[in-house]
Amino acid sequence: MIARHLRRAGINARPGTVMNSLDTQIAMVEAGEGVAVIPSYGLPVCRSRQVVMTRLINPVVNLEFAQIRARGSSSLRALRNSRPFSRGHMATWAGRAGVL
C-alpha cells in the first residue's frame, strides 16, 4: 500500500529490508538502521522511543479500520458492546496523534 501511494506521488522508493512487525520497525529506526513509514496508530508507541515522527503530507494515505468479532457471535450485539470503548479509544488516540 505504501509503495502504491509513493508511486502516485512520483516517488520510486525501493525498500532494502521489509519488516512486518511495527515494534521491530520502530526499534530499527531507533537504532539508526534506516527509516520507516508506519500507520498513525503506531504514533503513541513512538512517543516513548528516541525517534522523530513526521506526518506524511504527500502522499496522504488514509487507513481504514475494520471490526472483528468471534465467529458465530451476533454482529449487532458485538457492535453495541464495542461502541462505547471504540468511541473513547478513538477519541483518545486522535487527540494524542494530533488529528483532533
> Domain check: are 71 and 29 in the same one?
no
Q: What are the backbone dihedrals phi and psi of residue 39, each rounded to the nearest 5 degrees, phi first?
A: -70, 155
pLDDT of residue 86: 63
Cell of 79: 457492535
> Domain check: are 85 and 36 in the same one?
no
Mean confidence (pLDDT) of the chain: 75
- Return per-residue pLDDT of the chain as tens, 100 residues: 777 777 787 877 776 777 888 899 999 999 998 888 888 888 888 888 999 988 877 767 776 666 666 677 666 665 666 666 666 666 666 666 665 4
pTM: 0.54
Number of domains in the chain: 2
> Domain check: are 76 and 47 in the same one?
no
pLDDT of residue 37: 83
> Domain check: are 56 and 74 in the same one?
no
Please name the residue ranges forming H helices in 1-100. Answer: 2-8, 22-30, 43-46, 75-97
> Domain check: are 20 and 39 in the same one?
yes
The residue range of the domain holding 40 is 1-62
> Domain check: are 58 and 81 in the same one?
no
